Amino acid sequence: MQHLWAFWRSTYIENVDKISEDCFLCEAIKQPPKKYREYLVLHRGKTAFVIMNLYPYNGGHLMVCPIRHTDDFTSLTEEEILEINKLVRACIKALKETISPHGFNVGWNLGRVAGAGLEQHIHCHIVPRWHGDTNFMPVLSQTKVISQHFLSLYDRIKPVLERLIKGDERG
């Protein structure tokens, strides 16, 4: 029998009940910029930010979130909606440039029944996809194989994302 070690999942498994107690998104964006890498924050804008998913579906799984803590999509202001969508676009471009996925799943899980793991602070998922990234592992052993380390991806994506956002701001 072969063993697949996914040691990073143990933190999630051991703390799954605690995760819903605090808003990890609010905690991450409250940090000073020098701690953004530690919290996987890729960009902070005026009303929204980009963060890597600590428990990704695939490597490069990003989330775009309003800075304001809200569980109600309909409460988003026009300014928040515009910035969130511009960040989603920049994230897709950055992921195309850095890790070359074949496609993307982009969307919101609004409410627990819709699949939201954190329903108190809405966020838009950007999941890069590749031909053949769905295999037997999740079906047979409920294990997802992520082939790249978070911080390695962070270091590749961040400068590209920042360059694209700056270019978008210039017009």
Q: Which residues are catalytic?
A: 123
Could you tell me if 65 and 122 are in contact, meaning their C-beta atoms sit under 8 angstroms apart? yes
How many whole angstroms separate alpha carbon 78 and alpha carbon 75? 10
Q: 125 in helix, strand or coil?
A: strand
Task: Tell whether 53 is in a known binding site.
Answer: yes
Task: Tell whether 135 is in a known binding site.
Answer: no
Q: Of 50, 57, 63, nearest to 130 (Cα)?
A: 57
In angstroms, the Cα distances linking 124 to 16, 77, 119 are: 21, 15, 12
**Token pair 């790249």: residue:** 148
**Token pair 């930010």: residue:** 49
Binding site, residues?
53, 125
Q: Which residues are annotated binding-site positions for substrate? A: 53, 125
